[in-house]
């Protein structure tokens, strides 16, 4: 019997997680009894074999976090964030939502007290790391973010670990690879083009590539990301000790390799829909991002990644395009 709260439930991953929970009816074998979806605007409901409600919430607003956790959900997925490009152009907004909102949530949980100690899954990001990097980033590499988004995620991780250590909550922070392929429209993340160069060509549209093909980056499919969240929501945290934040496993690939995978899966004519148009603003942000990880610890804890970039493309075609694409 598990009650679940998803903050950021209107986002792409939050919505997919909600649909997965609705389809499964349980989290790791425990029946889900209720699901609350919260976001800055109330998320759409999902059909499920349990009660689902949707609520608008601004976590950083006075009393909002307390109202949200008053029903004492057993598992809280905190996925809400102002994304990287917007956090860079609007420092105050990014810090307010990504730092103050996260701290307000954790404090609201703490102030319930009375033995309440929910599992809290915090979606962090590989943006906590900043160049220069070793060829493969290990589990004990230091966090020197080069964006205000990454800074806020690193701070959220520190709060999560300290509140877990003090027994106020049972946190698992997962540093998600850049999710690819994101369905829908481009978003305000600087990484948006990584999905665009696969998604738009498969839909018969031109895509803009703002960086060089030599850029290497670290990816996971939406399906893999939902798998990470489900595992983090149910795993035994005793083995984590006080080190609550983990690099998730992923696929390391260059943009050139991603385009080659697209050609192989969907044909050269599809890959030919990518237009090179360098953008110094995006190039500068991306040049500070991690390229490859040795996610040893997460793998040993049972998290599993996509096999390769071709699988990432095939998951998009299967889950979003009904198995076909515009030739």
Pick between residue 19 and residue 243 the one whose CB is nearest to a second copy: 243
Pick between residue 91 and residue 318 the one whose CB is nearest to a second copy: 91
CA dihedral 73, 59, 155, 116 (to 10 degrees): -20
CB 229 within 8 A of CB 280: no
Give me the active site residues, please.
Answer: 149
Return the number of other C-beta atoms located less than 10 Å from residue 91's C-beta: 12
User: Smallest distance from the beta carbon of 126 to a second copy, in angstroms?
Assistant: 14
CB 108 within 8 A of CB 173: no
* Site stretch for a second copy (CB under 8 A), options 148-156, 206-214, 219-227, 250-258: 148-156
Pick between residue 67 and residue 91 the one whose CB is nearest to a second copy: 91
Pick between residue 162 and residue 311 the one whose CB is nearest to a second copy: 162
Verify binding: residue 85, a second copy, rule CB under 8 A: no
CA dihedral 63, 68, 72, 78 (to 10 degrees): -110
Mask for 234-273, x = binds a second copy (CB under 8 A) = --------xx------------------------------
Q: Which of 2, 3, 123, 148 binds a second copy (CB under 8 A)?
A: 148
Q: Which of 38, 54, 154, 220 binds a second copy (CB under 8 A)?
A: 154
Q: How far apart are CA 309 and CA 131, in angstroms?
A: 23
Verify binding: residue 161, a second copy, rule CB under 8 A: yes
* Site stretch for a second copy (CB under 8 A), options 22-30, 145-153, 207-215, 222-230: 145-153
CB 196 within 8 A of CB 207: yes
Verify binding: residue 171, a second copy, rule CB under 8 A: no
Return the number of other C-beta atoms located less than 10 Å from residue 248's C-beta: 28
DSSP 312-323: HHHHHHHHHSTT
User: Smallest distance from the beta carbon of 156 to a second copy, in angstroms?
Assistant: 10
CA dihedral 131, 132, 136, 139 (to 10 degrees): -70
What is the token pair recorded at 37? 């979806």
Q: Which of 145, 171, 196, 250 binds a second copy (CB under 8 A)?
A: 145
Contacts for 166 with CB less than 8 Å, ≥ 6 apart: none
Q: Which of 24, 58, 90, 162 binds a second copy (CB under 8 A)?
A: 162
CA dihedral 319, 320, 326, 327 (to 10 degrees): -20
User: Smallest distance from the beta carbon of 104 to a second copy, in angstroms?
Assistant: 13
Verify binding: residue 291, a second copy, rule CB under 8 A: no
User: Smallest distance from the beta carbon of 166 to a second copy, in angstroms?
Assistant: 7
Helix axes 309-320, 255-266, angle to 10 degrees: 50
Footprint of a second copy (CB under 8 A): 91, 130, 139-146, 148, 151, 154-155, 158-159, 161-162, 165-166, 242-243
């Amino acid at each position: 019997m598990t009650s679940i709260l998803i903050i950021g439930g209107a986002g792409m991953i939050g919505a997919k997680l909600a649909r997965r929970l609705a389809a499964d009816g349980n989290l790791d074998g425990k029946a889900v009894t209720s699901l609350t979806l919260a976001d800055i605007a109330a998320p759409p409901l999902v059909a499920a074999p349990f009660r689902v409600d949707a609520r608008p919430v601004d976590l950083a607003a006075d009393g909002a976090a307390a109202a949200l956790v008053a029903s004492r959900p057993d598992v809280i997925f905190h996925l809400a964030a102002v994304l990287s490009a917007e956090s860079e152009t609007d420092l105050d907004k990014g810090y307010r939502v990504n730092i103050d909102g996260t701290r307000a949530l954790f404090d609201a949980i703490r102030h319930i007290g009375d033995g309440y100690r929910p599992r809290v899954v915090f979606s962090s990001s590989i943006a906590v790391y900043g160049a220069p990097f070793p060829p493969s980033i290990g589990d004990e590499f230091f966090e020197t973010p080069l964006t205000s988004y990454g800074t806020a995620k690193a701070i959220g991780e520190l709060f999560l670990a300290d509140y877990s250590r003090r027994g106020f909550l049972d946190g698992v922070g997962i540093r998600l690879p850049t999710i690819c392929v994101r369905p829908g429209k481009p978003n305000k993340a600087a990484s948006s083009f990584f999905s665009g160069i696969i998604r738009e060509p498969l839909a018969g549209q031109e895509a803009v590539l703002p960086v060089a093909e030599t850029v290497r980056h670290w990816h996971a499919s939406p399906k893999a990301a939902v798998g990470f969240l489900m595992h983090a929501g149910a795993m035994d945290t005793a083995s984590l000790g006080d080190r609550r934040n983990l690099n998730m496993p992923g696929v390391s690939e260059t943009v050139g390799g991603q385009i080659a995978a697209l050609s192989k899966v969907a044909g050269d004519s599809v890959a030919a829909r990518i237009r090179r148009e360098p953008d110094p603003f995006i190039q500068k942000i991306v040049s500070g991002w991690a390229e490859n990880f040795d996610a040893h610890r997460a793998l040993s804890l049972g998290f599993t990644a996509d096999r390769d970039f071709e699988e990432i493309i095939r998951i998009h075609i299967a889950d979003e395009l009904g198995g076909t694409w515009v030739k």
